[in-house]
Structure 1
Amino acid sequence: MIADFIFKLESIFWGLPFIIFVMLVGFYFTVRSGFFPFVKFGHILKYTAGSIRNNESNAKKDGSISPFEAVCIAIGGCVGAGNISGVASAIAVGGPGAIFWLWIWAFFGMMVKLVETSLGCYYRSQDEKGEYYGGPMEYMEKGIGREMGIKFGYVLGAAFCVGFILQFIQGSQAYTISEMLNNSFKIPMMATTVVYTIIILYVVWKGTPRIAKFATIIVPIMCVVYLLGGIIIVILNIQNVPSVIQMIFKDAFTGTAAAGGFVGATVTTALRSGLNRSINSNEAGQGSSPLIHSSANTVHPMRQGLWGAFEVFVDTIIVCSVTAIAILCTGVWSNGETGATLTMTAFETSYGMFGRIFMGIMAVLFGLTTTAGWYTYYVAVIRHLLRKKTVLRDNIIQVFKVLFPCMNIIIVGYITMSGNDADLFWSLVSCVLAVPVFTNLIALVILRKKFWEIFKDYKARYFGIGKVDPDFHVFYEDNIDIKNREESIRKGLEH
């Protein structure tokens, strides 16, 4: 009964109208920017991957983390179950054509994440400890509610917060890891989940500083090792790659006929499956990454936005693509398996038992970095909601440190004991994803003029295109009058 309701809800939330809206938002920002992520891709690389060792990327001060720490947490937050299980699920449900739509959103998503990250940094706040925080709820309330005088901004902010917090019920990483270890080594799923919960509790207990240190060490290593493993599979099956690429593009517009254990898929199913798995994986439009990027010590909002675009490129264009092509070129995609099991089968066909061990290790690392990264996102939302009640806020965060890991046990326990599989799990993920995506994209559309002002200022300062407006404030609260007003609001002196 509950499973049928969740499947039905997913089909309603991710119906054609919502899909068209999401794609149009991405299309608008990409085209209006002059295809900035592609035309200026060299610039993005120069100030992201090419700047990892320079002072700007590693600079931080009291109340902030460095830009590099922010992006490691953010990449750790999005490179996770979506790259292993989500991509496989997209293929299992939507066929090879789903990967085309996964790529399409990634191309648009690079610009969308640049927009939301830039706005998050521009409208960020500072708490009583001097620590920066921000995200969609900040630009909804400050930008739409106060600067534009549209009261709907407060409603939108509240809806985003509620929808975003609800995502912590999904327990996605724990389910993927326990599923893989169970299929590979017959380790009971609940046993894995309990151990995983204890490890996460340790990682998050000291908060963002420990998570940042953990992410900067683990994330670069795990991404490189996983990519090497996947690329070797593709090379071993290189003769199948041309037909796989052809199948991805053809099936995106024709659907996929039933084959083996695959029941077949329509174009709409491929589109819906590819799009929501892409958003779940790279989080572009979801409003999550700005929650950590807003804490970074950046020289310009859009400079941090470049890191947002880079995240999408790494997560989807590189990591997800390697997973997808490995699954398709080994021919296991139509065997009837789904989720993490399908990805593991692809690795096992090339590496034997080592493939299972390798994927087990990767799943644990991906899961830990993602879960830890998302903890920082939820805490940012809690800090915003309870910003006027600091004692209650700190107490709630302490309780959440325990509740957050324990939710894994509840969700994995329900799905396993009810006899359901990864299809139900990923439908649940899709349902809780829809609300924050919808509210966040609405906000980006409303605040589009502000972003273009930030965009114009960045081009003038760093590309020499146009003149720098001396009256433009790089950050919202650089204006002393606005800063004083916001300080009063934060202290509860104004309502």
Structure 2
Amino acid sequence: MSLINQVNGLVWGPPMLVLILGTGFFLMILLKFMPLRRIGTGFAMIWRGRKRGDASTGEISPFEALMTCLAATVGTGNIAGVATAIALGGPGALFWMWCTALVGMATKYAEVVVAVHFREKDERGEHSGGPMYAIKNGLGRKWLWLGVAFAIFGGFAGFGIGNMVQVNSMALALESTFSVPTWITGVVTMVLIGLVILGGIKRIGAVAASLVPFMCVAYVLAGLAVLIVNVDRIPAALDLIFTHAFSPIAATGGFAGAAVMAAIRFGVARGIFSNEAGLGSAGIAQAAGTTSNAVESGLIGMMGTFIDTIIICSITGLAIVCSGVWSSGESGAALSAAAFEASLPGFGGIVLTISLVIFAFTTILGWSYYGEKCWEFLLGAKSTVPYRIVWVVAIPFGAITQLDFAWLLADTLNGLMALPNLASLILLSPVIVKLTRDYFRGQSTELSAQTR
């Protein structure tokens, strides 16, 4: 535990945070801030991507691919992660989460573009992509070890961060709110997840497309209800967030005080944990989408970061600061629950618990596919069925066991996924820029032809 703690401190320390933010900013400059200028285009692409295209170009629709990505990212990070950042870094941490998301849109765009551009078909004729394939097919054999490293980190990290940790959060939330025994949560979740993932990416995509939009809208509406109750406190909350992003905050109530570095560190780290920009995972799901253009997939993929952090995490963070419970000394999901309960007495905590359960459930679905593709890259398609069985069997154990070590190890492996991914994005940046330039130049030519 002590050794992993030290490694974790290095993995998520200032150098890694600078590397992730620096890579995102570097890509944003190269792309001439295109991700920020094309947010409207991204939403339009999501709407257009609801229809599944030619089966020869992918297994699921671009919309289902985005929902699978959101299924994996919209999870405990949006509820517990945001609260932890504020509890340890103060309200200013939310500002740094926003910065991480805006810069992360360029990173997420680039990840998806190379994942789709360098994807390949596996032995079953299904499309496979992600950082490991981008490294293998984009950088060549001499860099293959980087792709192998990513697949190993992702293959093992999934069992912690995307499986056991998620079901553990579900089980504890249901036990504290509805007195449901943890083992029952584990068994029911195991059965439901098994029914979905044994059907492969098509069934995962279909379930994600049904559940994710509903859960996101429902949670945003509940969060807006909290903000409406506290509408008179919103200006003061925003003042706190912007002020303490750049100045230390003194101890108050149960809050121990925090330096600016703490706000930056926890804001950036929890922001990355929530939206996964820089980890490379989004490209794995987007590569299964029916598309013949990597840039269009990238425009859809980058919107996952915007929806996840700028919309959903902001709702959680503002609810915590506006309700005044941020300085209570609570942390994690308990702090978010306190914010909702304080503003919506009697059912605020219940709403948050149900949201946490659905978020965690969909995260298990999304990450099951990420892990599957990592192991397929390492061991071939023959590993798929054994992997799915092990993934499903691990769920009840996650529900009933103490996971401090599993959480720490998975968090460390999750961070290590960023290293091969960021290296490949920097090395492949000329390809990303060329594909982007060619796509928008072609669009301009098309428009001018239509005008004539």
TM-score, length of structure 2 as denominator length: 0.92
From 153, 174, 198, the equivalent of 2:167 is 174
CA distance in 2, matches of 1:326, 1:42: 26
Q: Residue 474 of structure 1 corresponds to which residue in structure 2? A: none
Opposite residue 420 of structure 2, the aligned amino acid is T
Contact 2:115 2:133 in 1 (8 A): yes
Contact 1:97 1:247 in 2 (8 A): yes
Contact 1:168 1:404 in 2 (8 A): no
Q: Residue 414 of structure 2 corresponds to which residue in structure 1? A: 433
Contact 1:169 1:411 in 2 (8 A): no
From 20, 23, 46, the equivalent of 2:21 is 23
DSSP-derived class of the 1:360 partner: helix
Matched, 1:276 2:269: yes
From 148, 164, 170, the equivalent of 1:158 is 148
Matched, 1:446 2:440: no
**Residues 184-205 of structure 1: CA deviation (Å, up to 9, x unaligned):** 2333444433432332222212
Opposite residue 112 of structure 1, the aligned amino acid is T
CA distance in 2, matches of 1:180, 1:337: 15
CA distance in 2, matches of 1:381, 1:335: 41
How far the C-alpha of 1:71 sits from its partner, in A, is 1.0
CA distance in 2, matches of 1:350, 1:145: 55
Query: CA 1:338 to 1:95, structure 2 compared with 1: closer, same or farther past 3 Å?
Result: same
Query: CA 1:96 to 1:8, structure 2 compared with 1: closer, same or farther past 3 Å?
Result: farther
Opposite residue 75 of structure 2, the aligned amino acid is G
Q: Residue 223 of structure 2 corresponds to which residue in structure 1? A: 230
Contact 1:110 1:310 in 2 (8 A): yes
Alignment of 1:56-95 (within 5 A): 57-62=51-56, 63-95=58-90
Q: Residue 376 of structure 2 corresponds to which residue in structure 1? A: 383
From 382, 387, 392, the equivalent of 1:405 is 392
Q: Residue 41 of structure 1 corresponds to which residue in structure 2? A: 39
Alignment of 1:9-408 (within 5 A): 9-48=7-46, 50-53=47-50, 57-62=51-56, 63-146=58-141, 151=142, 153-170=143-160, 171-387=164-380, 393-394=381-382, 396-408=383-395
Contact 2:185 2:399 in 1 (8 A): no
Opposite residue 154 of structure 2, the aligned amino acid is F
Opposite residue 444 of structure 2, the aligned amino acid is F
CA distance in 2, matches of 1:52, 1:295: 13
Contact 1:119 1:451 in 2 (8 A): yes
CA distance in 2, matches of 1:229, 1:60: 38
Unaligned runs of 5+ in 1: 388-392, 468-495
Contact 1:37 1:111 in 2 (8 A): yes
**Residues 374-402 of structure 1: CA deviation (Å, up to 9, x unaligned):** 11111111222223xxxxx33x3222222
TM-score, length of structure 1 as denominator length: 0.85
CA distance in 1, matches of 2:101, 2:226: 23
**Residues 265-312 of structure 1: CA deviation (Å, up to 9, x unaligned):** 222222221112111111111111110111111131010001111111
CA distance in 1, matches of 2:88, 2:156: 25
Contact 1:459 1:465 in 2 (8 A): no
CA distance in 2, matches of 1:412, 1:5: 25
CA distance in 1, matches of 2:422, 2:33: 19
How far the C-alpha of 1:35 sits from its partner, in A, is 0.8
CA distance in 1, matches of 2:304, 2:338: 27
CA-based RMSD: 2.1
Query: CA 1:267 to 1:411, structure 2 compared with 1: closer, same or farther past 3 Å?
Result: farther
Unaligned runs of 5+ in 2: none
Aligned residues: 444
How far the C-alpha of 1:404 sits from its partner, in A, is 1.4
How far the C-alpha of 1:414 sits from its partner, in A, is 4.0
CA distance in 1, matches of 2:320, 2:128: 40
CA distance in 1, matches of 2:33, 2:349: 41
Query: CA 1:415 to 1:264, structure 2 compared with 1: closer, same or farther past 3 Å?
Result: farther
Query: CA 1:190 to 1:339, structure 2 compared with 1: closer, same or farther past 3 Å?
Result: farther
Q: Residue 473 of structure 1 corresponds to which residue in structure 2? A: none
Higher relative contact order (CA 8 A, sep 6+): 2
DSSP-derived class of the 1:279 partner: helix
Opposite residue 266 of structure 1, the aligned amino acid is A
DSSP-derived class of the 1:415 partner: coil
How far the C-alpha of 1:412 sits from its partner, in A, is 4.8
Query: CA 1:293 to 1:182, structure 2 compared with 1: closer, same or farther past 3 Å?
Result: same
CA distance in 1, matches of 2:299, 2:194: 32
Contact 1:164 1:436 in 2 (8 A): yes
Alignment of 1:458-469 (within 5 A): 458-464=439-445
Opposite residue 299 of structure 1, the aligned amino acid is S
DSSP-derived class of the 1:463 partner: helix
Query: CA 1:91 to 1:212, structure 2 compared with 1: closer, same or farther past 3 Å?
Result: same
Query: CA 1:89 to 1:353, structure 2 compared with 1: closer, same or farther past 3 Å?
Result: same
Contact 1:179 1:341 in 2 (8 A): no
Query: CA 1:121 to 1:369, structure 2 compared with 1: closer, same or farther past 3 Å?
Result: same
How far the C-alpha of 1:466 sits from its partner, in A, is 12
CA distance in 1, matches of 2:244, 2:314: 16
CA distance in 2, matches of 1:31, 1:331: 38
CA distance in 1, matches of 2:252, 2:242: 18
CA distance in 2, matches of 1:221, 1:366: 11
Contact 1:10 1:431 in 2 (8 A): yes
CA distance in 2, matches of 1:430, 1:21: 17
How far the C-alpha of 1:408 sits from its partner, in A, is 3.8
